[in-house]
Amino acid sequence: MSNGTLYIVGTPIGNLEDLSIRAARVLREADLIAAEDTRSAKTLLSHVDAMGPVNPARTVMSFFEGNEAGRTGELIGALAAGKRVAVISEAGMPGVSDPGERAVSGAIAIGARVEVIPGPSAALAALIGSGLSSDRFTFLGFPPREQGARRELFGSLRDEIATMIFYEAPDRVADTLSDLAAAFGADRRASLGRELTKVYEEHVRGTLGELMARYAKEPPRGECTLVVDGGAGASPEIDIEAELKKLLDAGLGPRDAAARLVIVTGKPRRHLYQLALSLRGETK
């Protein structure tokens, strides 16, 4: 028996009318559907199944971040048995900040066919709606939750010339905007897309400073995608030792001095902290 086919199916990010005819057919014909959220899958499949005949042997299984590693083996087993396996996210494209990458790698490893069924993407919808340049862009997914790691990331992107796209949870938008403004400057252009393709879709455009002020006290509602304009290229060189010395001379401790420079240098906090300790030792 030959291997089956793995279908990576893009699903609507809000509006069910965005589901393609091809995606609907694949989901009706699949033998197994691996769904990131089985509850949202039930709603989607009710919509899909109303369009035509359904494979009576079709089954749906849970496939999310917490069980992806273990369940991938089951998917590969089904493919090895010649089954048609479809992977869907709660919304959007599997494998893009959602489970799917392991399934594709496993399918390739056994020589199974992989078909990607294109679908809606919050990143692209937000990018086009932002009005910022789409000639060159980079998708960066969800920024780290921990502030230090997030600041390191943004500091490392200070010389990025491409338009940057981030996903973010509503309750973390204010902190993320604050760190972005600290890294890139409050006057950097940006846009926040929320509730994309839904009734209350909104693109809030402005500078990072303006967006930061808007969401400082009240977080946006719904799923959010941040789009940030790229920079001009290489930033002026920063004399890290000199800047650390200034901060230490101003009374900051090594830990706080290192934290101040993370976001403007992109250097690891541990590296800056060790350097600050060394410098403080030299000035004693």
For residue 235, the model assigns a pLDDT of 65
Q: How large is the average pLDDT for residues 268-280?
A: 82
Token digits for 119?
Answer: 């679908």
What tens digit of pLDDT does each residue of 168-217 get?
Answer: 999 999 999 999 999 999 999 999 999 999 999 999 999 999 999 999 98
Q: Which residue has the higher pLDDT, 164 or 1?
A: 164
pLDDT tier at 249, thresholds 50, 70, 90: confident
Q: Which residue has the higher pLDDT, 226 or 267?
A: 226
Task: Look up tokens 């002026």; give the residue.
Answer: 236
What tens digit of pLDDT does each residue of 128-157 get?
Answer: 999 999 999 999 999 999 998 999 999 999
Task: State the chain's mean pLDDT as an integer.
Answer: 92
For residue 234, the model assigns a pLDDT of 62
For residue 283, the model assigns a pLDDT of 45
What tens digit of pLDDT does each residue of 211-247 get?
Answer: 999 999 899 999 999 999 999 866 667 788 888 888 8
Q: Which residue has the higher pLDDT, 208 or 158?
A: 208
What tens digit of pLDDT does each residue of 49-71 get?
Answer: 999 999 999 999 999 999 999 99
Distance of CA 85 to the CA centre of its chain: 25
